[in-house]
Structure 1
Amino acid sequence: MAKMVLLAEFVSLNGTDLSSFCRKAELSTEVEDKEVTTYASLGWKELLGGLKSGELGLEFLQDVAATQIDSIMWPLLGLVVPFEVRLSQAAVGTSNPKWTGNILINGWNPIEGSVGDEASVSVGYPTSGVVTRATA
């Protein structure tokens, strides 16, 4: 079994590579379970998959200077934008797939933290539409 340490994830939002600002990326997907149990189920619960959804969780190191992360993210507030994430910044391939789709930028926390903390921003954006996995 191959093992891997995440050293250089690739994160792109709205066509902009944000990897140099990002220190954590998590893409999660799920399917609603819909119970379809009947008396014919013989006392066993039966389930079918319903609607799919996902979330892209990101943690950025904050920078409010011109052309930096805050000035990139602030104008996207309220928009649905494309994303791409990969485990490595290497080329997409069978050993480095990419996940793509769209997310709703439904919030931005320009100021977050306590005395002595690094300035960082943690966000979670819901997917909008299909999320795909590709190796080419």
Structure 2
Amino acid sequence: MAKMVLLAAHVSLAANNLSDYTRKAELTVEVEDKDVTTYASLGWKEVLGGLKSGELSLEFLQDVAATKIDSLMWPLLGTVVPFVVRLDTAPVSASNPQWSGSVLINGWNPIEGGVGDEASVSVGYPTSGAVVRAVA
């Protein structure tokens, strides 16, 4: 079994490469389970897949200087923007797939942390529409 260490993941929001600020990225996708159990199920629960949804969770190191991450993210608040994530910055391939779609920028935490902490921002954005996996 191959093993992998994340060293150079690629994260882009609204066509802005935010990899230099990102220290954690997590894309989760799930499908609702809909109960379709009937008496004919003989006591066993039966389910079908319903609506799909996802979330892009990110942790950034904050930078409030002009043209840095805070000035890029603040104007996006309340908008749906495209995202792209890859496990590595290398080109998209069968061994480096890319996931893309759109997310709603539904929050931004300009200040987060305590005395002596690094200035970081943790966010979780719901996907809007399909999430696509590409290998080329």
Q: TM-score range by the shorter chain?
A: over 0.9
Equivalents in 2 of 1:26, 1:100: separation in Å? Answer: 13
Equivalents in 1 of 2:121, 2:16: separation in Å? Answer: 17
Give the match for residue 88 of structure 2: 88
Equivalents in 2 of 1:2, 1:132: separation in Å? Answer: 24
Where in structure 1 do 4 or more consecutive aligned residues deviate above 6 Å?
Answer: none
TM-score, normalising length from structure 1?
A: 0.99
Identity %: 77
2:122 aligned with 1:122, yes or no?
yes
Structure 1 residue 25 displacement after superposition: 0.3
**Deviations 1:74-133 (CA, angstroms, capped at 9, x unpaired):** 000000000000000001000000000000000000000000000000000000000000
Give the match for residue 63 of structure 1: 63
Number of equivalent positions: 136
Give the match for residue 103 of structure 1: 103
Equivalents in 2 of 1:75, 1:16: separation in Å? Answer: 13
**Deviations 1:37-86 (CA, angstroms, capped at 9, x unpaired):** 00110110000000000000000000000000000000000000000000
* Matched position secondary structure for 2:57: strand
* Matched position secondary structure for 1:106: coil
* Matched position secondary structure for 1:71: helix
Equivalents in 2 of 1:44, 1:55: separation in Å? Answer: 31
Structure 1 residue 134 displacement after superposition: 0.4
Unaligned runs of 5+ in 1: none
Give the letter for the 1:49 counterpart.
Answer: G
Give the match for residue 25 of structure 1: 25
Unaligned runs of 5+ in 2: none
Structure 1 residue 5 displacement after superposition: 0.2
Equivalents in 1 of 2:94, 2:16: separation in Å? Answer: 23
* Matched position secondary structure for 1:124: strand
Give the match for residue 2 of structure 2: 2
TM-score, normalising length from structure 2?
A: 0.99
Equivalents in 2 of 1:127, 1:87: separation in Å? Answer: 19
* Matched position secondary structure for 2:115: coil
